[in-house]
Every structure is written in C-alpha cells, then in structure tokens.
Amino acid sequence: MKFIKRSDRAQPKVSLILLDWSVRESFHLLNYLSRQDIDRDLFEVIIIEYYSRISDAIRPVEAQVDSWLLLEMPDDCYYHKHLMYNAGIVTAKGEICVICDSDAMVKEGFIRAIITEFENNPGIVLHIDQFRNTRKDFYPFNYPDFAEVTGKGCINNVGGKTRGVVDDKDTIHNRNYGACMCARRADLIEIGGADEHIDYLGHICGPYDMTFRLVNSGHREIWHQAEFMYHTWHPGQAGEDNYLGPHDGRHVSTTALDALIRERVHPLLENAAIRQLRLSSDAPDSTRFEISPAHFKAWRKDKLRHGQQWIAGNTFRKSRHGFVIDRTPEGFVGYPKVLDHPFFSKAREALELRAATESMLLERLDNEISGDLRRLLPVIGTLTYLSRAFGLAFLYLQRRLLRFSQGVA
C-alpha cells in the first residue's frame, strides 16, 4: 500500500472518495470540482486505486487531488469496491464522506448543497441522483453543456428531475444508489463501515449497503430534490465480463436487501481498521489501513466463476433464545438481538459468546443463558421491532404528506 499524495488540508468539511481499479479513462469530475462556489479548503479529494496503476488520466488534474492511495492489491485478485470505500473512510479527514462517480459532471453548487443538507438535517444519509445520457458523440468526453446532457439522449429526465426522484413506487431500482452517497464519517464508522464480505466482490456492490444499515440504525435516507450529477456514455459503463455476486435479477445485491429486511446494522465482515476506529476512544493514525490477508486468497480470479452470476449467497444469520448467531472468519458469534445497534456496540462486544463451530455456540447458548433471560429477550426484541415498525410507518406518512403538499403547491 502506498500514498502518492497525502492531504494537507487541516479541517475539510467534506471528503470526496473516488475509486479506480485500473479502468478509469477520465476523471473529469475533478475539473468540475475546481469550479465550486465555496472555499476549496472546505473539501478534500481522495483517490483510491485498487491495484498499483498510477493513472495517466489523473495527471492533468492532479492539482485537484489531495490524497492518492494505491492499495497495491495483486493483479490476480478481483476488485472489491467496499475495500476501497473503507480505505477512503479511514483516510478521510472530513466530517462528511461523499462516495461518488469520478467520471460525472456536477454544477458549481454541488459541495455547498451537500453541506447545507447536513446542516439542516443532521441525522441523515443523503443520496444525489444522476441524469444519464446515451449519446456516443460525447465520447471521448468533450465537456458538453448540462442542457445537452439532460436533452436529446437523456434516458431519465422527467420534467427537470430524474425519473428515480419523481417515481417513488420502486425506488430501489429506479434510483441510482451508486451515483452519489453522502454520510457523516462518524456514522459510517459507527455501523462498521462497508461490508467486505465476498458477496460484494465485483459488480454487485455499492454504497447502498451502508445506506440500508444506516437506516436500520435510525438515520433517515433522503434524496436531494434539486441537486444532481450528470453522466455521459462511455464504453463499458455498465461493466464488461463481470463477476456477479448474489443479486435480485436487476443487479441489486440480495445480501444488502437481506440486511435491510432483517434490520442488521453491522457488516458481515468488518475491516480491522474500521473496527479499531469504532471501538477505540483514542482514534489511531488515519493513514493506517489494514487489508485482511484472507482476501488475497479468497478474491483470486482463478477461484471465481468469472463472468457468471454467483448463485449461492454466503450470508449466515440465525437466532436462538433472543440471540443473533453470525458466522465470522474466526468461527461463530452470538449476542442479544437488542444489542444489534451501533449505540450498544461496546456493550455488545462485552456480552458476545464465541465458539469455533455453530454446534459449540448453540451448546453454550443452551447451557449459559438462564431460562428467565431466554423468555425476556424475545419480548424485548418484539417490542423493539414494533417500535421500529411504527417509526417507519410515521416516516412513510410524512413523506406522502410532503409529496401531497408539494403537488398542491
């Protein structure tokens, strides 16, 4: 792992995390970031390269890059975006982390809009949707006007907004969850960062894994109604010859959907550096990032059915006596379901039961959990579930009333 550049900005408000796995042809977002209408010291730009390539596409705009990190993963390992997300979160100095496309266009008020939204709504995870244009005469990227991108060839412009923002019937599939996701760095660390489970290897991945778990931890998911990104066609924009993890047939991870449905907050596989940040009151060196040695073996290309869908998901989660049972790289762990929330993370660590095998853990639960506690925990879990259900119903009603009032206005 090697830094080409390290940020010297003392206290940026926003950290933009841009990814490359030796595939990017253009980083023209950096040109648009140079035109923002706020003080440049309010945001930093972080480039995370998965392999060892020093991209020629960055050199013309290198002045806009604050931190540039090569993870130096072996060439025979398939890419895992979530590992790059975590590297960006650990490296970031800003209060707000922004994970977004590096080959998109943004207007001059883009960063200001993000900062303003968090000032007005502290407990949120923010997404910004993206207009997409399929015209091939914009490639190689030739800096078209914003009006050109939203005009002829734009596939999702509905009255000046994206179809995803306008249509709330199937938001998970209609909105571009990978275009731009923004969350407070402290909140991302609190939920354990991005999940480095093998289900997210390759094309079926995205920051929405963290969005869903942030929602489960009590944050509100909101989509900006006036600020957008703009994307033009380029070869391979949907990926080519991809390795696909488990998905719902429309390229949304079923592992992430499972987390949303089961109200899981923490990742199936947490990065060690993120875990240290989450549990330590004294933050370690922010430039120290750890890559699990197990990844070098598990993510090797010759071990994967390259270009085919990964059929069987590898998620594992059960319950017994009001305890969650999860598989970890070291074995199995059990903890009370009511502690599956970042607020209780340190208490959860103290109350975990661990064992090398599932049967050994079940035996410990049977022998070490008293009858009174067995009866009490499911009741508490049910009350927690009902409380959350009422909260979600109230949030849904709020959104419907807001849409109704906007329609009337």
Contacts of residue 191, defined as CB under 8 A and 6 or more positions apart, other chains included, come to 210, 213, 214, 217, 265, 266, 267, 342
Structure tokens at 403: 């849409």
Beta strands in 157-272 (DSSP E): 157-158, 161-162, 180-184, 220-223, 229-232
DSSP conformation class of 299 = T
In whole angstroms, how far apart are CA 375 and each of 84, 236, 372, 383?
43, 55, 5, 13
pLDDT tens sequence across 121-152:
989 999 999 999 999 999 999 999 999 999 99
C-beta separation of 269 from 329 below 8 A: yes
User: What is the chain's mean pLDDT, rounded?
Assistant: 86
Residue 45: C-alpha distances to residues 4, 22, 78, 376 (Å) = 13, 18, 25, 49
- Specify the range with the lowest mean pLDDT, choosing from 8-12, 176-180, 289-293, 315-319: 315-319
Q: Is 250 helix (H, G, I), strand (E, B) or coil?
A: coil
Instruction: Kindly state the tokens that stand for 165.
Output: 């923002």
Query: For residue 378, is the peptide bond before it cis, meaning its omega torsion is within 30 degrees of 0?
Result: no
Q: Which of 16, 14, 162 is nearest to 95 (CA)?
A: 14
Q: What single string gives the DSSP state of each residue in 260-294?
A: HHHT--S-SS--HHHHHHHH-SS---TT-----HH
**The two three-digit tokens of residue 276, written as one number:** 């240290």
pTM (predicted TM-score): 0.78
Which of 75-79, 98-102, 166-170, 368-372 is predicted with the least confidence, judged by mean pLDDT? 368-372
Q: How far apart are CA 228 and CA 232, in angstroms?
A: 13
Structural contact between residues 126 and 222, judged by C-beta atoms closer than 8 angstroms: yes
The closest alpha carbon to 189, from 254, 265, 277, 122, belongs to 277
- What is the tens place of the pLDDT at every residue in 301-353? 888 754 444 433 444 556 676 777 876 656 778 877 766 655 555 566 667 88
Burial class (CB in 10 A: 0-12, 13-18, 19+), 387: exposed
Proportion of the chain in helix, strand, coil states, percent, rounded to 5: 40, 20, 40
* Torsion of the alpha carbons at 388, 176, 210 and 331, rounded to the nearest 10: 110
How far, in Å, CA of 20 to CA of 103, rounded?
11
Average pLDDT over residues 253-273: 93
pLDDT at 310: 44
Strand partners, 70: 2, 49
Give long-range contacts, CB 8 A cutoff, 24+ apart: 145-150. 146/105, 146/107, 146/230, 149/105, 149/230, 149/231, 149/232, 150/230
At residue 207, what are phi and psi to the nearest 5 degrees? Answer: -65, -10
Phi, psi (degrees; rounded to nearest 5) at 406: -65, -35
Per residue in 206-253, pLDDT tens?
Answer: 999 999 999 999 999 999 999 999 999 988 655 555 788 888 888 899
Just give the CATH number of 2-279: 3.90.550.10
Q: What pLDDT was estimated at residue 403?
A: 53
For residue 320, count CB atoms less than 10 angstroms from its CB and return exposed for 0-12, middle for 13-18, buried for 19 or more.
Answer: middle
Radius of gyration of the chain (CA): 22
Q: Where in the chain is the domain with CATH 3.90.550.10?
A: 2-279
Residues 334 and 121: their CA atoms lie apart, in Å, by 35
Q: Give pLDDT tens digits for 145-161.
A: 999 999 999 999 999 99
Phi and psi based region of residue 266 (left: phi greater than 0; alpha: psi -120 to 50; beta: remaining): beta
Q: Which pLDDT value is given to residue 237?
A: 57
Q: From the centroid of its chain, how far is CA 157? A: 25
Is residue 215 within 8 A of residue 209, CB to CB? The reply is no
pLDDT of 244: 84
Which residues 6+ apart lie within 8 Å of 150 measured at CB? Answer: 131, 133, 157, 160, 230
Q: Tens digit of pLDDT for each residue in 20-54?
A: 999 999 999 999 999 999 999 999 999 999 999 99
